[in-house]
Structure 1
Amino acid sequence: MIFTPDETRRYARHLVLKGMGGPGQQALKAAKVLVVGAGGLGSPVIAYLTAAGIGTLGIVDNDTVSLSNLQRQVLHTVGGIGSGKVQSAANFAAALNPHVTVTSHAVRFEPDNATGLIADYDLVIDGTDNFATRLSIATACEAAGKPLISGAVSMYDGQLTVFLPDGPRFADLYPASPDDADLPSCEATGVLGPLTGIIGTLMAMEAIKLITGIGTPLVGRLLMYDGRDARFTELTY
């Protein structure tokens, strides 16, 4: 896979990076990644994967941009209020890196369309904000043998982990499925804006690691972040 002169300059810091280099950047260019959710977590994921040179980036979201999103969903702007988040995110990605192919899926991720949505992608990243959708994504990825990066935030705290086809399953981490009505919502409890950036950026990092084979992914490990005390804690499952 040959890089254009523009790509060579654009990815120069990757190309000279030991462990990444040309092979790593080529792996990124060949990768097809699906991001479910273009909100607080999806924003930094989409931004950093676009900047890194992912070949194909799929974005799933059926929501529209509202003023209350702008405190943390940094892909979107005042000018985009009322427009679809998928289109807003695609516009951001196109302006940042024209070498990335963006595929828009302006639909809600549900069990009925899950198989079709993930079929053409190598890796799925879950940036959604409710348990039912997260369960649907994990179930579809398990059935299709697709790697999944999952993150979540609430108030001042966040967490992320990685599920691989041959690793611990979603049910090992969440043996019981809570009702979303019993869980605190972002609208009710709030979330500190930079928290989504911290967790979302770590999710993008895990994606790049999986694609390039760099480092050790968070498989069977739940990384938790306490924003108030600036502490990371890790649990195994």
Structure 2
Amino acid sequence: MNNEILLRYSRHLLLKEVGIEGQTRLAEGRVLVLGCGGLGATVVPFLAAAGVGRLLLADHDVVELSNLQRQIAYRETDLGRPKVEAATDAVRALNPAVQVQALRERLDEPTLTALARTVDVLVDCSDNYATRRALNRAALAARVPLVSGAAVRFEGQLSVYLPHDPASPCYECLFPGEEAGDGPCATFGVFAPLVGVVGAHQAAETLKLLMGVGRPPVGRLLSYDALEACWREMGFERDPACPACGQPGAAAPSA
């Protein structure tokens, strides 16, 4: 590392859990962020600022005026632009050393699986169950960790899934069926800082996974209530009858 890099990441390097080895792992890390809306607009800048080497950003949407209430990576000058393009510009302005690949499209499960095999961590910042389910199955097939978050109204949720760990449940163990969740924030609304709270935690768990430090919330659903300013935790286990990871021949590894 040259002097400029040492100075940029000096506050990381002071942490014994990070140091030069951890920062090097971040520089070598590859992350797919699916969704550049409220959660993604928080996750992406934190990953870029922390020095994650390569980011794949996937979103089919454009920046709209209603986004600016909470998606702080964007400006009024970005209105009408594809979110992945605006997010890419934000990353390059923040940390030019980060490589960014922008994917402006809806990704189906086969495409997600192919992309998952090229990265170290998947970050779910999407806003619908069908996409989350497809990403979960891609994570299982590629055996890549999945950091999942959600935010609506005043409540946020976070959990981490480790497909390479036989004891780890998957997303569908927790949310089974064809439909799940409260729906998009466009229907129910969302408290502006909530996406920042959940997105920052997603970024933290992603960095921990890349560096191999700390303990991720596997088998634990963390729920944040912004009105009460409190976190709650619910434990859950792998479901032997889960259609994604519990059936014979499923993509998840057997014990």
Normalising by structure 2, we get a TM-score of 0.89
Partner of 2:185: 186
| Secondary structure at the counterpart of residue 63 of structure 1 | coil
Contact 2:33/2:55 (<8 A) preserved: yes
Structure 1, residues 173-202: CA drift from partner, whole Å, max 9, x if none? 11223167xx43311210011000000000
Structure-to-structure mapping, 1:48-127, within 5 angstroms: 48-127=46-125
- The amino acid that maps onto 1:93 is V
Matched, 1:212 2:211: yes
Give, in whole Å, the separation in 2 of the partners of 1:136 and 1:177.
11
Find 1:8's aligned residue among 6, 9, 20: 6
Match of 1:173 in 2: 174
Measured after TM superposition, the shift of residue 213 of structure 1 is 1.6
Partner amino acid, structure 2, of 1:85:
K
TM-fit CA distance, 1:86: 0.3
Give the helix-richer structure, 1 or 2. 1
SS at structure 2 position matched to 1:51: helix
1:153 aligns with 2:165: no
1:118: Cα distance to partner? Answer: 2.1
Give the Cα separation in 1 of the matches to 2:177 and 2:8: 46
1:226 aligned to 2:225?
yes
CA distance in 2, matches of 1:5, 1:142: 40
Task: List runs of 5+ in structure 1 lacking aligned partners.
Answer: none
Choose from 21, 24, 32 the match for 2:22: 24
1:168 shift after superposition: 1.1
Secondary structure in 2 matching 1:35: strand
Residue identity (%): 42
CA–CA separation in structure 2 for the residues paired with 1:207 and 1:194: 20
List gaps (5 residues or longer) in structure 2: 237-255
C-alpha offsets along residues 142-189 of structure 1, whole Å, 9 cap, x if unaligned? 111111000001100000100001111122111223167xx4331121
Partners of 1:121 and 1:185 lie apart in 2 by 27
How far has the Cα of 1:112 moved from its partner? 4.0
What is the letter of the counterpart of residue 168 of structure 1? P
Question: How far apart are the structure 2 equivalents of 1:80 and 1:158?
Answer: 27
Alignment-mate amino acid for residue 190 of structure 1: G
| Code of the aligned partner of 2:77 | G
- Asked whether the 8 Å contact 2:110–2:138 carries over to 1, the reply is no
Amino acid at match of 2:157: Q
Q: How many correspondences in the alignment?
A: 233
4+ residue runs over 6 A deviation: none
**Residue in 1 that maps onto 2:247:** none
* TM superposition score normalised by structure 1: 0.95
Distance of 2:185 and 2:80 partners within structure 1:
20
